Structure 1
Amino acid sequence: MDDPQIEAEPSEPRSIRQRVRSACKPCKDRKKRCNGENPCDTCIGYEYECHYVASSRKRRKKHDSAAGRPDVPDHSGSSAFATPTEPEKESHSALTPTNNWDSREENSGTAFAKILMGRLDPGQVDRPAIPWNLGVGQEFQGPRQDITKIVTLDQMQALVDVYLDTVHQVFGFINKQPFMDTIVHRWSGLSAPNSRDIILSGVAALGSLFTPGFPSALRESIANFAKGLLETANARSGLEVAAWVLRTLYLRVTSQPHAAWIASCTTMHTIQATDIGQSSGSDVDGDIIDTERLIWVSRVSNCFISREYGRPTVEIETSLVSIPTSRPGDFTHDLLYMYQQSERLRPGKPYTVADDEAGIAELASFKSDSDGIILFKGYFGLILYRRLQSQSVTASVSSETVKSAISLGKDGVDAALRFAQRRQPWWHVANVTFQFVCMLLVIDTNTSLQHMGSAMDALQTVSEYFPSRSLTETLGFLKTLVKLTCDRKRTELDFLEQSLQDKGVTNLEPVGSVIGVAQNDQRLSSGTFTPDLNSTDFINFDWDAFFKADIPVLDYSVIDP
């Protein structure tokens, strides 16, 4: 029987590789093999939303029986999307889906069961009940509340504006216009709750963090809603990856480093699960996401947080290796430059003093108008200078390098102050200021210490804008360091002043005449000896040899018996 989807030689249907005329949209986007079924094996295994899009491309007629037959049959009466006709089912002996499996699935009983169901019943849309565990606990089904019921349209648009002016300027992976259109459709009731809510709620949560005076109870409701959606989502598209990036950035501001690191690692593993790193094209729900930028931002956030926290990064295989082009109005391209510079800090990578000095010089020469990027510059500059300190080679560090390191730190503190004055809690606001004060104390020169007052004032200002126990303890710790430094310097000053005090010498007992100075005994003992610098005795005296000679304190050979 002729099949409208499979083109094969009639004489040897099993020996010739069968070619599918029309692949489903998810397989096309991810460049995966599709068997033309609905749902296909790949979509079943990865839990993609399998659907087909009618092709307008005309094919050459091969024989009369195919004349007038469309590439994709029209099923518009039964579905919103055109779907291919169901191919002839294969026998049970051909169930081994080796050619359709990714190497990660070869040992997966779960994937095998899904593909088995898809082969036996291609029309099955429900996922098979697979005993992953005993299911004895209560499984969280995700929030039942609607994001449109948590915030109004005006509130959402205001939060998005703040997000675009702050976070998006540095971590820019959202396509603005499609994203704004999604908001309008969602709040106008033109679309029901859907998979994009996971992005809407994540953006709203970050926008609330950077909005001065935003009600904390409402912020918590938005963040919990976003978290609930994320924890119950299945990795099917770039939307989940983007949501994990948003969650990572939120935790970097609000939580302990371990939580942010775990979220950044989960982001990278979600990229592996969805395979979006293999194609720059948009996926099923990805028109609001720039996939190429999303991959890079995910990599950068995992790298930065892992190295800050001293933990390993997650490396992924991806075909997206070129740097995305810059966009007007955001500084994501500058962020990727910072990422390239951070590769100097890769654990295990050999480096020299000259390498770190060159890195500091390059950072100092790089200019950016983004306060977020300026803070990154200051942070990496301080790391490089600390590495120079750890090598105990500060004596060989050039004065120009020290000057550049101080300049990077000072610029970072100024950027931190601007963030604080805008009530925007960028994550390096306190950290760079704290590290800069410590570096100034270590350098311990007039050039460095003259910046101590402004740096301490900046941290004091930050703690007033963002009152928290953590900042209060940090400020108290730095004040203790400064007091200890002052005490040490006072002790050193006392030693120096004591050396200048005029202490009279008394009760000296004569030891006899010394050859060469006997004629001056009387004047020496009376304390009235005044050397005659014009005496001919010193005309040809070699003063240089005198000061360089190794002269003993007492030479008993010249003392009279």
Structure 2
Amino acid sequence: MSSSTPQHNRLRSRVACEPCRERKRKCDGASPCNTCVRYAYDCHYPQSGRKRKAAALSADRTSPAAEHSPSTPTDQKAQNRIQSLEANSGSAFVRKMALGIDPANAPRLRLFAWNVFLGSRKSNHTPMSRSIIQIISWPEMEELASIYFAKVDPCYGFVDRQSLERRMRTHWSNSNTETGAFEAVICGVAALGLLFSRRNVIDAELDLVETAKRILEQSMSVHPSLDIVTAWVLRVAYMRMTAPAHASWMASCMLMHTLEAAGIHSTHVLDWSSAGESGQALTPEIRKRILGVAQHLNIWMSFDIGRSRVHLQTLDFDLPAPREGSYTTELLELLPHSENLNPDKSVDVLDLKNSLATIVERHHSAPPSVLAQCNLTLLLCRRLRTLNFHFQGSLLNQVLSVTARGIQAAQDLLDDCAPWHHVVNVPFQIICILLALDTPAAIAQLNDGIKTLSNIQLVYPTDAAKEALSTACLLIHLHRKRKEADLKTLSEIVSTYSPSVLFDQQFATQPQNINDWSSHTWLESLPEMPDLQTFDIDRFLNGSSEWSLPGDWTQGL
């Protein structure tokens, strides 16, 4: 069938290649098949008639003209997009890197350490949707709101504190037991307050999350108010730190569509009266902060799991003004750099290198913001690695400086009982990048990264945290095995072909020529060589006078 002819029915292969059969993946029967091409498997078929049949099926699906023609620009664009998706996704990078080290023992493709809990922050309690007044008391709500504004709001600052506290007092004083849009907001604030103050979940937290979820689901049939939009942002932020990746990404897409339905995405279509009818005024600053945090969440979730982000038409977004005690603007300043990494955009090595140089030079003041900077740095490093870029010099040192600060920031947040989603994700991805860089300075940081992951699984002993630690140790073990195999090969070469061995072979026939070797070995007689990290071999081979061989060395060659 010609490649230009649309295919309405899914083609099935009569036989699967060996890697797809072992991993129980769908195989298209090509040689190599698309699955093996994408995941860098060694595509091969059983030594039987099946291989010839698979090749015949593949030939039937390709026209003779297309078989000998080069790939079209459309095909190349699609391939580039796949490479960008895989480079943006930390899990795909981990899988591909492990396959390069040891294909037989590489971990399977999955989202390692996406957050600390991955859906495990729950108990045997069945969540109940009810009024927040029946779930927690007013003193408890005051305390949880204080925790929220102390730990969450400085990073995700999109809630007006004075307005919220005034409306909370009114809500409790009137003993209003009916749930509404505002209750979804305070349920979200209280749930995040519990998440950032208790290592283990309590029944009240699950009830708060369930109540907010029910209110938001019921609101889909009406025009969304500012309270509904605010409650959606709070819910998505909570899910990013606790829930599995797919459910969180779906919620972030719903949030973006809710913003569009409310008109908050554009100043030209915004219905200011309906947006502010809930009692909280939608100021230009609040609008910028809501829109910025929502974009931040949706973009990075789509990057992490290799899915599409929601692009809103006529999007009007400007950075909010900085305010004392908050670093939301600092976080949102990374948005333009993040959007440039969309898989649909074509970026070359120079663009990525310039972006990386800009990001590593930035100063981020608080641990959550430092982790966001580090996460973007790691993504840029992954993209550059796919283009075979070699890190060296000051850029490499700056990258390692950012990763060191990221490891320390994760430990600081752990000590503060602040389980941001990057607390476990960034240290794990740092370890992967350090192994990929494979320089002495990078390897030296591995101990701090593993130590932080170990501390995380001690404080939050979840399956996700334990899996992150065990997978990181597995990657280091595979890396060590490869190093040991290389060292063995080098040792065998030196022991077989070194001058001392050749000299020993000549000793039997010419023993009188060994007087000069009796006191020291051949290695000890060699002059000191320059450091290989700073030695420019190209200049040496081109006859540069900046570094010349000592006379004793050249005489011994």
Same fold (TM over 0.5): yes
Q: 1:175 aligns with which of 160, 170, 173?
A: 160
Find out whether 1:262 has 2:258 as its counterpart: no
Equivalent position of 2:215 in the other structure: 229
Q: 2:276 aligns with which of 272, 275, 283?
A: 283
Q: 1:273 aligns with which of 250, 257, 261?
A: 261
Find out whether 1:472 has 2:466 as its counterpart: yes
Distance 1:389 1:498 in 2: 32
Q: Per chain length, whose mean CA-contact separation is higher, i.e. which structure has more relative contact order (CA < 8 Å, sep 6+)?
A: 2
Give runs of aligned pairs for residues 123-142 of structure 1, distance below 5 A.
none
Distance 1:195 1:269 in 2: 17
Equivalent position of 2:311 in the other structure: 315
Give runs of aligned pairs for residues 180-191 of structure 1, distance below 5 A.
180-189=165-174
Deviation at 1:348, TM superposition (A): 2.4
Distance 1:489 1:278 in 2: 55
Find out whether 1:499 has 2:483 as its counterpart: no
Equivalent position of 2:141 in the other structure: 156
1:18-55, CA deviations, whole angstroms, 9 ceiling, x for partnerless residues?
xxxxxxxxxxxxxxxxxxxxxxxxxxxxxxxxxxxxxx
Report the AA paired with residue 377 of structure 2. G
Distance 2:454 2:460 in 1: 10
Equivalent position of 2:384 in the other structure: 388
Find out whether 1:165 has 2:161 as its counterpart: no
Distance 1:215 1:343 in 2: 35
Deviation at 1:338, TM superposition (A): 1.3
Given that 1:198 and 1:243 are in contact with CA atoms closer than 8 Å, whether structure 2 keeps it comes out as: yes
Give runs of aligned pairs for residues 45-64 of structure 1, distance below 5 A.
none
Equivalent position of 1:248 in the other structure: 236
Distance 1:507 1:416 in 2: 58
DSSP-derived class of the 1:173 partner: coil
* Greater fraction of residues in helix: 2
Report the AA paired with residue 252 of structure 1. R
1:436-473, CA deviations, whole angstroms, 9 ceiling, x for partnerless residues?
11111111111111111111111111111111112212
Deviation at 1:352, TM superposition (A): 2.3
Given that 1:143 and 1:228 are in contact with CA atoms closer than 8 Å, whether structure 2 keeps it comes out as: no
Report the AA paired with residue 250 of structure 2. I
Distance 1:311 1:354 in 2: 26
Cα gap change, 1:314 to 1:500, in 2 (>3 Å): closer
Cα gap change, 1:261 to 1:213, in 2 (>3 Å): closer
Cα gap change, 1:201 to 1:507, in 2 (>3 Å): closer
Query: For structure 2, which runs of at least 5 residues remain unmatched after alignment?
Result: 1-126, 517-540, 543-557
Equivalent position of 2:354 in the other structure: 358
Distance 1:178 1:197 in 2: 14
Query: For structure 1, which runs of at least 5 residues remain unmatched after alignment?
Result: 1-141, 509-522, 533-546, 549-561
Deviation at 1:431, TM superposition (A): 1.0
1:513-543, CA deviations, whole angstroms, 9 ceiling, x for partnerless residues?
xxxxxxxxxx9953435899xxxxxxxxxxx
Given that 2:359 and 2:373 are in contact with CA atoms closer than 8 Å, whether structure 1 keeps it comes out as: yes
Equivalent position of 1:112 in the other structure: none
Give runs of aligned pairs for residues 58-457 of structure 1, distance below 5 A.
145-189=130-174, 193=178, 194-213=180-199, 215-233=201-219, 234-279=222-267, 281=272, 283-285=276-278, 287=280, 290-318=286-314, 320-394=316-390, 397-457=391-451
Distance 1:471 1:372 in 2: 19
How many residues are treated as equivalent by the alignment?
377
Distance 2:154 2:417 in 1: 17
DSSP-derived class of the 2:346 partner: coil
Q: Which has the larger radius of gyration?
A: 1
Find out whether 1:459 has 2:488 as its counterpart: no
Q: Percent identity?
A: 27
Cα gap change, 1:483 to 1:300, in 2 (>3 Å): closer
Deviation at 1:405, TM superposition (A): 1.5
Deviation at 1:237, TM superposition (A): 1.2
Distance 2:461 2:206 in 1: 18
Equivalent position of 1:528 in the other structure: 512
TM-score, length-scaled by structure 1: 0.63
TM-score, length-scaled by structure 2: 0.63
Deviation at 1:276, TM superposition (A): 3.1
Distance 1:507 1:149 in 2: 91
Distance 1:156 1:337 in 2: 32
* Backbone CA RMSD of aligned residues: 2.7
Deviation at 1:503, TM superposition (A): 4.0
Mean CA deviation greater in 375-384 or 482-491: 482-491
Distance 1:379 1:392 in 2: 20
1:463-510, CA deviations, whole angstroms, 9 ceiling, x for partnerless residues?
1111111221221121122122222222322333333435478999xx
1:220-261, CA deviations, whole angstroms, 9 ceiling, x for partnerless residues?
111111111111123331221111111111111111111111
Report the AA paired with residue 526 of structure 1. Q
Distance 2:310 2:379 in 1: 22
Distance 2:333 2:384 in 1: 22
Distance 2:134 2:281 in 1: 22
